[in-house]
Amino acid sequence: MIVNQLRRIMYEPKVRDVPVDDNALLGIHGAVLREKPLLRSAFETFYTDMAAYCDRFFKVPGLEVELGTGVGFFKQMRPQLKTSDVRKGPNIDLELDAQAMDLPDASVRCVYAINVFHHLPEPEKFFSELTRVLQPGGGCVLVEPNGEFFSALVHRHLHTDEHFDPNAEGWKTQDIAGPLSGANQALSYIVFQRDREEFDRKWGDKLEIVHQGHELNSLRYLLSGGLNFRSLAPSFMTPVIKGLELALSPLSRFWSLHQVIVIRKRA
């Protein structure tokens, strides 16, 4: 297919033919992120926004933990943060499974996660863990694929190792085969929008959704090529692209690739 041919042409040469669950990909992604100022700018927006949501909504003490850190650099901007992942890495403080976190009860102020939630085979185990590890009044900030048309179109065709199925039955994903493969990128849409009443019925006495919004970094993220594809814009265009994102902010739900969900544990 033409789409598959274009995808292969656009792959970063370093990434092409490396299996998505191969540990070697961490080092390759780290190099890509260092070489792309436009992509780093997009991640800085993720990190700045998540930290602001934490400080705004969670007025309690405790640990701040990032799940699925990978090659990210959130800790450089938030020094008190504990980084974590399901596999060891050079910048990983803790080896954690989001569905069975090796953390003390009521010890955490905030759990951060970028594109992690949709990789969880059984998200209800994650919600159960949130109710256990969070301080009352603490919470979780999730950045996940947006469920609107443009985002769905991009996420449906960009990767072959994940899928986007907003009509999937239930919340469990049976196809997950590794840290990054087999995930349904529509999971956050399913749980927090399509099945919002079910979420509130099952978890509303313990967890409350206090904010849902959209990230204003998607043009930078897309034009940078992300971690896997070639850049489509030079880095010196970063201020211009950022300004365009700001100008388009009233319509962000229609063009943003990522939504943000802020969940707080009830006191």
Angle between helices 149-158 and 2-10 (to 10 degrees): 80
Q: 34 in a domain, yes or no? A: yes
89 within some domain: no
Task: Please report whether residue 98 resides in a domain.
Answer: no
In a domain, 82, yes or no: no
Residue 165's CB is within 10 A of a number of other CB atoms, namely 16
Domain of 206: which CATH number?
3.40.50
213: three-class secondary structure by DSSP: strand
- With respect to residue 84, please indicate whether it lies within any of the assigned structural domains: no
> Does 24 fall in a domain?
yes
Residue by residue, pLDDT tens for the chain (267 residues) are: 566 666 777 888 888 888 888 888 888 899 999 999 999 999 999 999 999 999 999 999 999 999 999 999 999 999 999 999 998 888 899 999 999 999 999 999 999 999 999 999 999 999 999 999 999 999 999 999 999 999 999 999 888 889 999 999 999 998 887 888 899 999 999 999 999 999 999 999 999 999 999 999 999 999 999 999 999 999 999 999 999 999 999 999 999 999 999 999 999
The pTM for the full model equals 0.95
Is 17 contained in some domain?
yes
Q: What's the structural domain count of the chain? A: 1
Residue 90 belongs to a domain: no
CB atoms within 10 A of CB 25: 21
Domain of residue 120: give its range: 2-71+106-265
